[in-house]
Structures are given as structure tokens and as C-alpha cells.
Amino acid sequence: MGRAMFNASHAPDFALRRASIKAIAGALCLLGFGRNSVGAAPIGSGDARLRAPIAALFRDEAAACAVGRRCLAGLAVGEYGALERTRVLLAPITGGAQFRERLARQRRREFARGDTAIVNGWVLARSETDLCVALALLPRD
Amino acid sequence: MIIDFRQADRKEIDATLCIVGAGAAGITLGRALAGSGIPVCILESGGLEYDERIQELYDGKDAGFHDIYDLKNSRLRYFGGSTNHWVGHCAPATDLDFAPRPWVPYSGWPLTKAELDPYYEAAQHLLEIGAYRYALSDFPDRYAKIPPFDPNKIVTRVWRLSPPTRFGAKYRDDLARADNVRVYLHANVVDFDTDADAKRVTAARLHTLDGERARVRAKYFVLACGGIENARLLLLSNRHAPRGLGNAHDVVGRYYIDQLRVENAAVAAVDNEQPLAMLEGDFHRDGVRFSSLLCPSEQAQRERQTLNWAVEVSRLTDMHPWAVALRNVRDAWREGKWPDDFGKQVWAVISDLDGVATGMYRRLQPWPLSLLARCEVAPDPENRVVLSGERDALGQNKIERRWRLGPREKHTIRTATRIIGEELGRLGLGRVKLADWLLADDNRWPADVIAGPHHSGTTRMASDPRRGVVDATCRVHGVENLYVAGSSVFPAGGYTHPTLTVVALALRLADHLRHRLEEPITIKTPLRSPTSSAGVS
């Protein structure tokens, strides 16, 4: 398989930025996902509480984690805007159908404006990979 | 009248118009002038059938991009030219193909598509492809069933597939019956005689493979030998123009372009075939065969700074070795498996998040479709044909083709497949996986990416003689009575196959020449709308 890629821009180059991956990890730490995150110190005690609603989106949690890890391992990041986007994405997590609808709208908007990531060749919406990255970084109980 | 030149008595031939080459352009031009009363002479190197000795005259050397179609076999040198082996895809170039595009250096024609539209319409009849309509929306029953793509990104068009018309067989009798047209077979033009300052062609010099020689004198000459030979003959005509005829600015042979066809540029995993089924395969209407295209909007080309492209949806094929990885995807899907854990995991994720293949993902059987990408090649003065040191059986320098693909082409194919992926994702139909080689940020290409073969651009059209060989009327800059017909005049090629545009331009040139011959000679004569005799039978 080829390397994983992130790139939201329309530019021909697929610039890879390891620093942005670390920014995602940093953002997740700030949001309380830090215990096992890349280079992060433990923050707070709500990791399991925050993990649960994300994990509930996936019937195959292991698959989502695997995609998230591939995103992180791919070292291929464009202008990810990690801190702001991850905060917005995760803030309203309450679980249930309402959240799924919100995510679906978000996903359609992302595809419409070309805000996609290429992961091992797959063209995925940014929020899809965000959730997988988050799940991969969250500590398990 | 059709004459075997080897058996002709007269070796000094006079005509008003001399057309060199009897392929799509030459036959169209000669036929359009049949019955006009203008004495026309058409010179064809080959006979009525394929002859290996004559075909050998097309041999040449390739450097740079490795094209699986070599110079000798990618075109045909006998009556009817390469229409004797073409497949038949027809579509007009788009409005944007004719316009200067700031993000595509050297792009832009000195005429608009609107100026060519009447000739495109007339060309439809010659190619036996019905009405001049190319939007998929012209077929409402079919259009209503395709996914509602964002028109700011994707527009749907069709190919019209010619039977394919073999111009030699189809129009031979029309030329044979015309009192004012003489077709000479086995008449190889080796170069042009000119006046001392190379501003006027006085004769075309002929050789046969048996060593006979002759000259054709005419008032006007038209080169219609194809995308490479047109440039070759100009370069060979160097008696009074050391760099070649019409080559004062070293443009002849440069800006060589072709078109790329990339099988399996990506696969689309969709949860069922229905929404995309209307885009796959051929369909028929009123005796004409069609196939569908997903093309970029003008906005998408501008915003993403791509060349022009098109994508066709089809079943995965086994044609090319570099598609092995994608074939593995297909084979695994057929068996209800994923070829790799990661694909399985991606599909599980999007099934959960997007509802794609709800209830299906555990069976792991999304519907795999292949995306075939077509792509324009960017004009580049360094892509060129030149005379090599090797000589053919007539003692003429062979051609060497030097060209390469660049980052623009790769960016275009990558962007094209990505846009399709965005739209399938937005519509909740599935996801797209790009071929691995498209992901690498380099200029490596699979060994067997197919180019056309649609040789074009080597005598490109431009108002400025420093940027082109012919002007907007197809007259060679600086040579008052020499014209060029065929794809060599294309300054930009788009993704559409060239034959329809070649025939339309030939009809336009026929009108121009008829007008010029009817009136006192002036260097520039306004073009008129096509007349009823412009090739519509």
C-alpha cells in the first residue's frame, strides 16, 4: 500500500507535514485525550467518558482506530488546522442520532468544498479521518 | 479521377489547388471542393491498401516519454490515412479548450469555438454521428437516472462513436466521380520548391519508391499529412529557408501534444451499481452509439488549475500491468473479501459514518468500478519532433520525437479522480481509491500509460508568428499560398479525440480557399459560414 496522505489544498503538491500531526495530538491532549497521546502529558480524568460517544459511532471500533493510526503514521498533512477543527468537531458530542445527522451534514459540506484527506489512496472527508484519529489517540480503559 | 502515379504519363502536373495527403483532412477538403470547378489535385503517398514498404516511410525514433504506440505503427500511410484504423470517438473541443488559460502556458486558439461550431455541425454528417449535441442532458431518460453531480464541479457529456467512418472507402467514389478532382496514389511529396525568399510555394516535388520524380505546380498548396508529417515536410523544405519552410521563428515541430488515456486511474467502491450504471458502457440512439463522460466544469478547471480531463466509468479491466494492485482489489471483492486489511477498515468506517452499504459492509461486497481518466497534454515548446540523421527509402530524414509528461498532467489526473471521489462522497454513493502511483509526489509514470496516438500541435495555430506556424486561417505564416490541415494546427488539444475537429477545420479551410479562389488574391480573406457544399451529403 502507498503511504497515507492528508491534503486539503488543491495545489498539485502533496506537502507532508509531520508537525501538523503533532498539532492534532496536542489538540486532543488539550481536549482531555492526552494520557497516551503522542508526546503528551496526562490531562484530566475524563478520557473514557469522551471516548465512548466517538466509539459508539463505529460498529467496528478497531477498524476506525486502524484508519486513525494510518492517518497518524502517514506523515502526510496539509494545512490541517488541527486545534480549531478538532475542537469544533468534538465539542458537541452527545451521542445519538442528532450527532450522526450533524456529522453527516458536516461530511457533505466537506466533500462539497473539497476538504478531503487522501489516506492510502482513499478520498475521505476530513471529519471522517478526524474521528478516526481521535479514536486512535484516546486511551482505552 | 483516381490515378496510380507510377503509371501516369505526365510528370509535370498543374492544378489550382494541390492537397498533400489523403486522410481525414485531405479527403474532406477535396470532397468539399468537388464540383466547384476548381482544379484540385490530391497527392497520396500510399495506394488503396496497406503496403509495408510505404508504411516504413513513417518509421522514426522516440526519445523521452515511452509511448506504446511507435511512430511507424501509430498512423497509416495509405488512402484514407489513419481513419483506416481509428476507433471512432467524436466530441468537439470545449469552449475553454479554445480560450487562453492563464494556468496553462501557451494555451489558447486564435479563434473561438463559436466560430468553428457551424463546421463542427457540418462535420457530423461526414463522420456519420448524427446531430451536433454532446451533453448527456440531451438524453433526458438517461440523464434523469444519473447521480445529481454538482454542476460547478462536474458536467456530463457524451462521446458519439462513428461507425467508424473509413474515409478512404466511404468517400473514394465521391472523389473519383468529381470532374475537377484528381487523386494521385503512390505519389510521395518529398519537399516544396519555393521562390528565392521562400514566401511562395511554386511546386511540390514527388518521388516514387521506384525512383521516378515529378513536380506538381499549383496556385495554392495544403499540407494534410498528419500531426507529425506536416512538420516533417516543412522542415525538409529547406532549399531557400535553411531552417525549414515557415520556420523563421523555430516553431515548426515544437509544442507537440497528444492525449493521455489512463486505465484504472482509480476505483470507485459503491454500495450498489444503480446510480452509476447509467454512466457505464455504451448506449444507442437513432443508429448512433454513445458513451458517457464525467468532465470538469470550467470553474473546476480554473479553481484547481488543471488541464482538461474526462473520466469514464467502467468495470475493472486487466489491460495494464501497473493496474495489478487495483486488479487485486477487484479480485478480492469478487470473492467477498478485501485485498488488504486497510481497505476493509476504511469501508467499515465509511459504512458506519456515512451509511454507505448499510448492512452490507459486513459482507464486504461493495461494487467496484474503474475510473478511466483521459487527460490533455500541456503545450510545451520543448516537446517536439525534429529531423533525425537517419534517412528513409526516399532519402528523406526520418523524424525523432522528443517529449515528456510533466507535473501538470499528473496533477490533472490526480485532481480528476479526487473530484469524482468528492462527489461520490457528497452524494453518499461510496468512496474512491486512487491508484498508488498517483499518490507519489514525483513525475514517475507507469510504463504503459497510453498516449492517443493523436499527434498534434507541431504546426500550431497562433496569431503571432513567434508562437505559431499557421494563422487563424491555417495559412503558414510568411508563406502566402501554403496552408496546413489536420491536428498539427491544434495549439491545445483538450481531452477530446481530434478527428471531429480535424474534419471541421478542413471544412472551414475549404470555405476559405473557395472564397479566396473566387476573388482577387489577398493575403487575408474573411471566413464565411459553411455552404451547402461543405461536405454535407
d(CA A79, CA B278): 37
Where residue B296 sits, what CATH number does that domain have?
3.50.50.60
Cβ-based contacts of B303 with chain A (< 8 Å): 10
pLDDT value, residue B451:
86
- Could you tell me if B426 lies within 8 Å of chain A, comparing CB atoms? yes
* Chain A residues with beta carbon closer than 8 angstroms to that of B408: 12
Measure the CA angle with vertex A30, ends A28 and A36; round to 5°: 55
pLDDT at residue A90 is higher than 80 = no
ipTM above 0.90, yes or no: no
Give me the domain span that covers residue B437: 2-518
Is the separation of the CB atoms in B399 and B232 below 8 Å?
yes
Interface with B, mutate which of A3, A107, A108, A111 (most B CBs under 10 A): A111
Q: ∠B142-B146-B151 over CA atoms, to 5°?
A: 115
For position B32, what pLDDT does the model report? 97
Q: With beta carbons less than 8 A apart as the criterion, state whether B104 and B492 touch.
A: yes
User: What are the residue ranges in chain B where pLDDT is below 70?
Assistant: 67-68, 271-274, 316-341, 355-367, 448, 519-537
Residue B177, SS3 per DSSP:
helix
- What chain A residue is nearest to B433 in terms of C-alpha separation? A122
* Residue of chain A with shortest Cα separation from B353: A57
pLDDT tens, residue by residue, B303-333: 999 999 999 998 765 544 434 555 666 566 5
Q: For B352, which of A57, A123, A125 is closest by C-beta distance?
A: A57
3-state secondary structure of B470: strand
Q: Is B436 on the interface with A (CB under 8 A)?
A: yes
Predicted pLDDT of residue B479 = 98
Q: Which residues contact B123 (CB under 8 A, 6 or more apart)?
A: B28, B500, B503, B504, B507, B535
* Interval B141-185: pLDDT, tens: 999 999 999 999 999 999 999 999 999 999 999 999 999 999 999
Q: Give the gap in angstroms from C-alpha B436 to the nearest C-alpha of chain A.
A: 6
In a domain, B526, yes or no: no
Contact A5 B352 (CB under 8 A): no
SS3 B510: helix
- Asked if the Cβ–Cβ distance from B348 to A120 is below 8 Å, we say no
CA distances in angstroms from B353 to A26, A51, B349, B444, listed in the order given: 25, 16, 6, 35
Which of A13, A104, A128 minimises the CB distance to B349?
Answer: A128
Residue type, B473: T
d(CA B22, CA B20): 7
**What stretches of chain A adopt beta strand conformation (E)?**
116-119, 122-125
Q: What pLDDT score was predicted for residue B333?
A: 59
**d(C-alpha B512, C-alpha B222), whole Å:** 12
Nearest CA in chain A to B303: A10
pLDDT recorded at residue B448: 65
Chain B residues with CB under 8 Å of A131 CB are 353
Domains: count for chain B: 1
Report pLDDT for B67.
67
Give the single-character DSSP code of B388.
E
Spell out the residues 6+ positions from residue A32 whose beta carbon is closer than 8 angstroms to its own.
A43, A44, A46, A47, A50
A93 at B interface, C-beta within 8 A: no
Q: Do B349 and A67 touch (CB under 8 A)?
A: yes
Give the largest CA-CA distance in chain B: 82
User: Does residue B112 fall inside a structural domain?
Assistant: yes
Q: What is the pLDDT of residue B523?
A: 43
CB B364 within 8 A of CB B344: yes
The CA distance from B277 to the nearest CA of chain A, in Å, is 21
Question: Residue B460: what pLDDT?
Answer: 98
For residue A79, give how far its alpha carbon lies from the nearest alpha carbon of chain B (Å).
Answer: 16
CB contact under 8 Å between B439 and A70, yes or no, is no
Residue of B303, B433, B440 lying closest to A122 (CB–CB)? B433
Q: Strand B40-43 relative to strand B450-451: parallel, antiparallel, unpaired? A: unpaired
Residue B524 forms part of a structural domain: no
